[in-house]
Amino acid sequence: MRPSPSSISAAALLTLFAACTSVRAQQSALNSEVAITKIESAFIDSPKLNAAGYTKKSAGRPGSWLEVEVTFERAVVPKAPKFAEELTFNYYILLKNEHATEDKKPTLLTGSVTHVCVPQEKGLHSVAYVSPRTLARFFDGKIPVNAQQAVTDVGVTISGAGGLLAIATSKGTVKGDKGWWDNTAPFTVVSGALLNKNETPFAPLEWDFYEAIKSKSGN
């Protein structure tokens, strides 16, 4: 997902990322060892993976997934474990789809991803996805051409054994430990629509770029 500019053409880049919203995360000061530094939203096509003996043909143009990527860091803190056993990322993705809903309220997609063995480093990454079919559902079959047209804002929180560690949004400033998503009146909340990387066709890609995800078996 992060090829060097010299390895692919500009046209290929445009195909890979239909659009990208990259905003420096605005984070509340929680005096924590964990900090969110960036939240990026992009449309990315389903990857084409070759497998020996598999002859099934594609139905057509690859579907466009909404990818939300979080860059974060764990500071070196005396007496803190070098590897955090678990960090849970809660994602809040507010769609710009009020024109496509019966009640004219936008949809808020929520979900979580739990990472394990997170080191004390900078430039760490978490990611969540919304599938092409889910996007079609919430945009009444008319998917926007890019992430900027599809997403109003993204909120992210990180929690650990000690509770809330970080909170940030891609737009605006967070005050304290509350985000705009805590006021559910202006939108319709839908949970279960977000997928972690292991639940998508991107699972085998960029394995070392993203932090390991806790399996459903708990290991």
Residues 112/33, Cβ–Cβ less than 8 Å: no
Segment 162-176 shows an average pLDDT of 86
Residue 26 has a pLDDT of: 53
Quick check: is 200 in a domain? Answer: no
**In the block, residue with structure tokens 């070392």:** 208
3 inside domain: no
Task: Using alpha carbons, select from 66, 80, 68, 77 the residue that is nearest to residue 133.
Answer: 66
Q: Which amino acid is at 167?
A: I
Q: Is residue 10 part of a domain?
A: no
- pLDDT digit string (tens) for 95-151? 999 999 999 999 999 999 999 999 999 999 999 999 999 999 999 999 999 999 999
Beta bridge partners, 196, equal 128
The vertex-192 CA angle with 188 and 193, nearest 5°, equals 75
Instruction: State residue 29's pLDDT score.
Output: 54
Question: Residue 107 is part of which domain span?
Answer: 16-46+61-124+135-194
Domain count, the chain: 1
Cβ of 191: how many Cβ atoms within 10 Å? 10
Per-residue pLDDT at 19: 41
Torsion of Cα atoms, 99 then 102 then 108 then 109, to 10°? -110
Cα–Cα distance between 104 and 116 in angstroms, integer?
Answer: 39
Inside any domain, residue 209: no
pLDDT digits (tens, 9 = 90+) for 47-91: 887 777 766 666 667 789 999 999 999 999 888 899 999 999 999
Predicted TM-score of the model (pTM): 0.84
Note the pLDDT of residue 74. Answer: 96
Q: How confident is the model at residue 176 (pLDDT cuts 50, 70, 90)?
A: confident
Question: Is 148 inside a domain boundary?
Answer: yes
Does any domain span residue 52? no
11 lies in some domain: no
Residue 117 forms part of a structural domain: yes
Q: Tell whether the model's pLDDT for residue 172 goes beyond 70.
A: no
Q: Does position 206 have pLDDT exceeding 90, yes or no? A: yes
Task: Write out the two tokens for 35.
Answer: 């900090």
Q: What is the mean pLDDT of the chain?
A: 85
pLDDT at site 2: 47
